[in-house]
Structure 1
Amino acid sequence: MHPSQPFPQTRKRRPWGEWILSYAGLTLLAVLVLLPVLVLLSASLKPPGDVFEYPPRLIPREFSLENYRGALEKAPLARYLLNTLLVSLGVTLGQLLTSTLAAFGFARLHFPAKRALFLGVLATYMVPWELTLIPNYLTISHLRLLDSYWGLVLPFLAGAFGIFLLRQNFLQIPEEYFDAAKIDGATPLQQLRFVAMPLARPALASLALLTFLNTWNQYLWPLIVTSAPTWRTAQIGLRFFLVDQEGSNYGFVAAGAILVLAPTLIAFILLERAFVRGISVGGVKG
C-alpha cells in the first residue's frame, strides 16, 4: 500500500449476544403491536358461537366468512367505505397541492416578510386541533355544507406540517438545478413541476400517506358534521350500525373493523419505503 493512501477502515462486528438481544427485543415489540390486530382477525374468521370460546384460540378451529357476510348485510359498509375513501383522497390531493405550492414559495421565492409568514404558519401547527373545532363547525354550518363531502374535506385542505416537510426537502435540492432551469427560461411553476417535485417524490409520498391515514381514521369531525347515514364515514357507520345494533355479536363488529382497517394497512405497505425515506431526508436546513 502506498504511504499516502489511507488505511481502509474495517467495521467492527457486533457480538452475537447483542444481535440476539436486539432481535429478541424487536420481535417482542412486533408481537405486542400486532397481537390486537391478530386477535381481531381471528375473531372475525370464527363462527359466531366460537368468538368467546374457552380456552381462547388465536387460530380458529373452523374458518368462516359468516361474520363478514353478516356485517355487510347489517350495515351499508360499502357506502361508508366509499365515503371514507373519497374524503381521504380529497384531503390528500388538496394537502399535496396547497403544501407543494406554499413550501416551494417559502423555500425558493423571495418576497417581503417571508420568514415572518413562515413562522406564522408554523405557529398554527402548535394550536391544538380541538380549539379550532367550534370555529370550523360554525363556518361549515354557515356555508350550509353539513352532511356533504365538502363539509368533511374543506377544513383539512391545507396544513402546516405538510408545508414544513416539503419546504425542508426543497431546501435540500442543490441550487445548481434551479440555476440551470432559470438559464433555460423556466418559470417558477416550471421549476416546481420539472425540478423540485421529481426530486422530492419520497417526501410527497410521505405526506400523502400520513394525510391519507389521518383522514381515514378521523372520528370526531365526521361525527359532528354528519347526521344523515348516507354521509357517514366508515368509523362512524361502524359505531352506529354495528356496535349499537349488533352490540352482542362481536364477530360482526370484528369483521367490520377488519374491513375498515384493511385499506390503511395496504396503503402503508405500498408506500412504506417512500415514507421512511421521505421522513429521513427532510433535514433541518432552514
Structure 2
Amino acid sequence: MSTGEAVAAPRGSATLARFGKYALLVIVACVSILPIYWLLSSSVKPADGIYQFPPDWIPMRLRWSNYAEAWRSAPFGNLYLNSVLVTVVGTFAQITVAVLSAYAFSFLRFPAKRLLFLLLLGAMMVPGHVVLLPNYMTIAQLGWVNTYAGLIVPGLGSVFATFLLRQHMLTLDRAVLDAAEVDGAGHLRILWNVVLPMSRPMIVTVLIIALVDKWNDFIWPLITTSAATMRTLPVGLLMLKSDEGYTNWGAVMAATVFVVLPVLVVFFFAQRHIIAGLTQGATKG
C-alpha cells in the first residue's frame, strides 16, 4: 500500500465517523421535535384530521378556531395570572434560599456542618410525592388551601438547587474571597459583590430549571386548590374535560400550546446559559 493510500484511509474513516455522528444527532433531534410538531399541527386540525390514519402530517385544512374555543372553555386569563405569579415569586424565593444555604455550606463554619450536608444529600433520595400528604396537612392546618401561600411556601426549599450551587461555589477561587475578607467585607457583601457575579451562569441555570419545574407543576396545585380562580395552567387543562371525557381534541391541543409555549420560548433563549452553567468548571467535595 502506498503512502497516499494509507493517508486517505484514515481520512475516509474520519469522514464516515463524522457523518455517522451528524446522522445520529439529526435522528435524535427529529425524535425530540416530533411530539412538539404533532402538538402544534393538531392544534389547528379539525376533529376528523386528528383521528385520521395514516396521520396527516401537513394539514391542508386549518381550523384556527380551536384556539378561540380553548380560550372560551377555561378562564385562561386568570390561569395565566396564577401561573406567572406562582412561578416568578416561587422561583426567586427558592433561588434566594438556595444561594444563602449554599453559601453557608461552602464558606461558613458551624457545628455539625458535614452531618447536616449529608442529611441534605439524603433528602435528595426521597421522592417528592412522599411529602405531599405531610405538606398538605400542614397548609390545611394553617388555612392556606386555595391561597398563593399554600402554592408557593412549601416549595421554597430545593435540595437539588442547594447542592448544585454549593458544589459550584466550592470551585471558586478562594484567594478572591480571602482578599475581600481582608478588605473588611462581611459575608453579605462577599456574597453580593464576589460570589454572585462569579456564579452567574450556574445561578441562571438553576433559576431556569426551577422556573420550568414550577410552571409545569401539576400535582401540588391540583391537591391544594379547589377553586377555579386559584388554579394554574396545567390544572386548567382539566376544565376542557366534559362528562364524556376529552371530546374536542383540537381545543385540547390548542390549550396545551397555551401551557407549553412560554416554557419553550424561555428555554430557546436560555439554552446557552444552561449549557454554560452545567459545564462550567469541575466539582469538588
Q: TM-score, normalised by structure 1?
A: 0.91
Task: Give the corresponding residue for 1:124.
Answer: 123
Question: What is the rounded CA distance, in whole Å, between the counterparts of 1:215 and 1:263 in structure 2?
Answer: 13
Alpha-carbon displacement from aligned partner over 1:238-284 (angstroms, at most 9, x marks no partner): 02x11336721110000000110101111111211111111122632
> What is the deviation of 1:176?
1.3
Tell me if 1:154 matches 2:153: yes
> What is the deviation of 1:213?
1.0
Tell whether the 8 Å contact from 1:48 to 1:67 is kept in structure 2 after alignment. no
Q: Structure 1: give runs of 5+ residues left out of the alignment.
A: 1-11
Task: Give the corresponding residue for 1:216.
Answer: 215
Question: What is the rounded CA distance, in whole Å, between the counterparts of 2:74 and 2:145 in structure 1?
Answer: 22
Question: What is the rounded CA distance, in whole Å, between the counterparts of 1:136 and 1:153 in structure 2?
Answer: 12
Question: What is the rounded CA distance, in whole Å, between the counterparts of 2:162 and 2:93 in structure 1?
Answer: 12
- Give the aligned length: 274
SS at match of 1:15: helix
Root-mean-square deviation (Å): 1.7
Tell whether the 8 Å contact from 1:168 to 1:282 is kept in structure 2 after alignment. no
Map 1:150-229 → 2, pairs under 5 A: 150-229=149-228
SS at match of 2:241: helix
Question: What is the rounded CA distance, in whole Å, between the counterparts of 1:270 and 1:243 in structure 2?
Answer: 33
Instruction: Choose the corresponding residue for 1:243, options 238, 241, 244.
Output: 241
Q: TM-score, normalised by structure 2?
A: 0.91
> What is the deviation of 1:143?
0.4
> What is the deviation of 1:64?
3.6
| Larger CA deviation: 228-237 vs 175-184 | 175-184
Tell whether the 8 Å contact from 1:80 to 1:233 is kept in structure 2 after alignment. yes
Task: Give the corresponding residue for 2:7.
Answer: none
Give the share of equivalent positions with the same residue, in percent.
38
Tell whether the 8 Å contact from 2:218 to 2:234 is kept in structure 1 after alignment. yes
Tell whether the 8 Å contact from 1:107 to 1:171 is kept in structure 2 after alignment. yes
> What is the deviation of 1:114?
1.3
Question: What is the rounded CA distance, in whole Å, between the counterparts of 1:84 and 1:152 in structure 2?
Answer: 10
| Letter aligned with residue 61 of structure 1 | M
Gap change, CA 1:258 and 1:229, over 3 Å in 2: same
Task: Give the corresponding residue for 1:44.
Answer: 43
